[in-house]
Amino acid sequence: MSATTGAGLVLPPGYSPPFYEVTDTDHTAWIIIATALCLCWLLLFAAIRLFIRCTITPGCGLDDVSVAIATTLAVIQSSIMLGACSDGLGRSVELIPPVMLEKVQKSYYAGNIFFTLALGLSKMSVVFFLNRLTVVRTQKLVFHVLTAFIAAWTVGSTFAVALQCDLHHPWLIVDEQCPGAFLRWKIIGAFDIISELAIVLMAVYLVWGLFTTFSKKAIVVSAFAFRLGNIVAIAFRLANFDKPERVSNPTLAEAIFIVWTQTELCYSLISATIPSLRPFVTNLNTQFGGMGAGDSQNGYGGGGGGGNGYGATKNTFKLSKLRSANRSATTSANRGDTYTDFTTRQAPASGLDGRSDLYSYGVWTAPTTGIDGGSSSKVGKRNISALADENPKADATSVGSNDSQRMIIRKDVTYEVHGV
């Protein structure tokens, strides 16, 4: 027996009518699909982040607390929007019973408030994460300033959304004159874009002075550059807000605006978790049952031993060629320089998971001439690892210990040699 949809379409036998149909007077399906998909994605990434913090890199920081609160608010906001859709949000006003119309407007009003709060906390969590990656006092001060800016934007945006139209009943928008409503959203969106650009620039500022390869810097910045996708969502939100039917029929006219609102909120929370995914993705790399060169991290494969229980209990390492860290010293000696010493590979950099896993250390500061005024004196400084003796070749690469670049104890030795 064939069925018939609400729009009069006859369905073949065995097919059921859809939950919602998209018509000229009903766009509820768009909102439900966008909200449901976003809710699933943000819960997935929240679970991944929780898994990372509980098993791979235990510990909880301000960034994790902010993401947790933002995710909770986002779940509440999504639930409110789904409930509003069941009451009539997305339909034309004449299709909504009068007793339900005010309830729909209240739900939409509350959803916008939760949206601004969750969005602001997701931004702040990224800045908190950046702050964890540095010990430089100047950088921390800059990150604190950006955090204060985002906090002020969050509070201001929340009040701007809450205090709209008639303050006696600010949730009512049908046939209400709300002067400056579109201007408010444009100002909120402008500072929203500025904050996203500032977050990416802070990531560049974090790695700018590090003595490491450009590729490693690019990897760090690219993890935070996912935030730039929010700018696209902001632009589409603003482009779909100010429509001719916004005052007389806002429940239908703002359907696409709501879709992009849900998209921005979901993407903001996902991009706040992306910089923390490095240890999770690393554990997914099984190296076909073995471990990569110089990599002692645990994997899910049978050959990757581990205290986390992802593989066998026996550690397995893939051998790599040993190389000396004293290449430049040999080159300098061949040139006949007065002083030679083993030199640097790279400077330290912090990893994306809150730990210092991009290990690289400088061990030689170039000598300066004539500190005491004598042209024949040379002063140099070297940093000696407690794992190496006075033989520079003792700091050669070893497997299973991150190339012996983790410096356990460092001693600074300063000396001065005067010519006769």
Q: pTM here?
A: 0.68
Q: Does residue 176 share a domain with residue 122?
A: yes
Identify whether residues 362 and 218 lie together within a single domain. Answer: no
- Residue 102 is assigned to a structural domain of this protein: yes
CB atoms within 10 A of CB 290: 15
Report residue 159 as tokens: 């009040």
* pLDDT of 332 strictly over 80: no
CB 293 within 8 A of CB 320: yes
Reading the block at residue 362, the tokens are 């400088």
369-381 pLDDT, tens digit per residue, is 444 444 444 444 4
* Among the ranges given (118-132, 149-163, 395-409), the one the predictor scored with the smallest mean pLDDT: 395-409
Query: Residue 276 and residue 51: Cα distance in Å, rounded?
Result: 11
What mean pLDDT do residues 238-251 have?
A: 88
Contact of 129 with 63, CB cutoff 8 Å: yes
196 and 300 within one domain: no
Instruction: State the amino acid at position 216 in one-letter form.
Output: K
Mean pLDDT of 151-159: 97
3-state secondary structure of 385: strand
Domain count, the chain: 3
Asked whether residue 197 carries a pLDDT value surpassing 90, the answer given is yes
Mean pLDDT of 108-131: 96
Residues 413 and 349 in one domain: yes
**Domain extent for 386:** 327-417
| Tokens standing for residue 173 | 């928008």
Query: Do 228 and 97 belong to one domain?
Result: yes
Give the residue carrying structure tokens 């001439």: 369
- The rounded distance, in Å, linking the Cα atoms of 369 and 371 is 6
Q: Name the residue with higher pLDDT: 191 or 413.
A: 191
Dihedral angle computed from the Cα positions of residues 81, 83, 86 and 90, in that order, rounded to the nearest 10 degrees: -20
Q: Which two tokens stand for residue 409?
A: 């104890």
Specify the CATH number for the domain of residue 214.
1.20.1070.10
Classify residue 269: in a domain, yes or no.
yes
- Same domain, yes or no, for 100 and 249? yes
- Is the predicted pLDDT of residue 336 greater than 50, yes or no? no
pLDDT at 264: 96
The answer to whether the CB of 418 falls within 8 A of the CB of 371 is no
**Do residues 298 and 357 both lie within one domain?**
no
Alpha helix (H) ranges present in 229-290?
229-239, 250-253, 255-273, 278-284
- 402, 408 contact by CB (below 8 A): no
Structure tokens, 51: 């898994």
> Which pair of tokens denotes residue 154?
């969050």
Pairing of strands 378-385, 3-4: unpaired
CB 213 within 8 A of CB 346: yes
The answer to whether position 9 is within a domain reads no
- Structural domain contains residue 2: no
Same domain assignment for residues 104 and 192: yes
347 and 212 in contact (C-beta within 8 Å)? yes
Same-domain check for residues 345 and 229: no
Which distant-in-sequence residues (6+ apart) come within 8 Å of 230 by Cβ? 192, 196, 264, 267, 268, 271
- How would residue 110 be classed by pLDDT, with cut points 50, 70 and 90? very high
Residue 3 belongs to some domain of the structure: no
200 with 57, same domain?
A: yes
